[in-house]
Structure 1
Amino acid sequence: MKHSTHQQDPSLQDRFGRSVAARLSESTTALPYDISERLRAARMQALGQRRAPQTATAPQVLNNGGAATLGFGDSEGSLWHRLAAIIPLLLLIAGLIAMNMLDDDFNAKELADIDAAILTDDLPPAAYTDAGFVQFLKSRLEQQAQ
């Protein structure tokens, strides 16, 4: 499996960036003054546009009377975290119930179509239960296949 640079360790990326910057800085001594000033201005502009690193609070494992529980990282908005966890579960349950109801409706319609076909056919329903009739249908299908 290939690993992209987005999945690498940030410290590894920082070390790589520092080594590239050091090599570029070494070669700037041989450049003319006007080019080195333009490069310095471009560096300052790039540093000004750099995003500040964001810190995220990690979940905490709390010990409550011998039972470990998982905290949400910060106490603010804990109700919102719980609601955000419950809403997808409720939507999943509602979707499963809807799928079950639609499947039941589909099966009922399918059975109704079969019943209607049997009742509107020229043959009486008792003919379908006759073993000789089943053999007759099989032999008729074999003759049509040839």
Structure 2
Amino acid sequence: MNISLPPSGQTPEAQFGRRVAARLSAGTDALPHDIGERLRVARAQALAKRKLPARAAPVVVASHGGTATLGSIWWTRLGAVVPLVALVAGLISISVWQDDQRTSELADLDSALLTDALPPAAYTDPGFAQFLKSEAAQPQ
């Protein structure tokens, strides 16, 4: 895999960092000397503490008889499937629980309608609906 570098030989991140540093340095001329010195020391400390990019260490996998003992592809596949199975099981259980709640609410509503003093046909009567609206509109 070939990675082409910009014409200057620097990575885009390094170029961006140099542009930011130049922009920050350009504004220090107008600052008092003591503040400029503190900024210079802070930059020097930051450069001393910065971490250089770590090189990737090669991965060593021991094998016995042609089967990898560490980093097996089966463990990787199992690790990818287990969260998916848990998600599907959770969604199914939520769906069942919501259906159960809706059925319970409908049963409560049906029992309230059937045990009420009014017959269920009264609720479908347009005149009764108008009566309820007029009762609600009148001040008590």
Percent identity, please.
38
Aligned to 2:15: 15
2:48 aligned with 1:46? yes
- Could you tell me how far apart the structure 1 residues matched to 2:93 and 2:57 are? 39
Structure 1's unaligned 5+ residue stretches are: 1-9, 25-38, 58-74
Deviant stretches of 4+, over 6 Å: none
Shift in CA distance, 124/141, structure 1 to aligned 2, threshold 3 Å: closer
Structure 1 residues 1-146: aligned runs within 5 Å: 11-17=11-17, 46=48, 50-55=51-56, 76-125=71-120, 127-128=121-122, 134-144=125-135, 145=137
Structure 2's unaligned 5+ residue stretches are: 1-9, 26-40, 59-69
- Could you tell me how far apart the structure 1 residues matched to 2:113 and 2:16 are? 77
CA deviation string 1:30-68 (max 9, x = no partner) = xxxxxxxxx8xx67x927x624424389xxxxxxxxxxx
> What residue identity is the alignment partner of 1:96?
L
Q: CA RMSD in A?
A: 3.8
Shift in CA distance, 53/143, structure 1 to aligned 2, threshold 3 Å: same
Q: How many residues align?
A: 97
- Could you tell me how far apart the structure 2 residues matched to 1:87 and 1:128 are? 54
Shift in CA distance, 77/117, structure 1 to aligned 2, threshold 3 Å: same
- Could you tell me how far apart the structure 1 residues matched to 2:18 and 2:130 are? 84
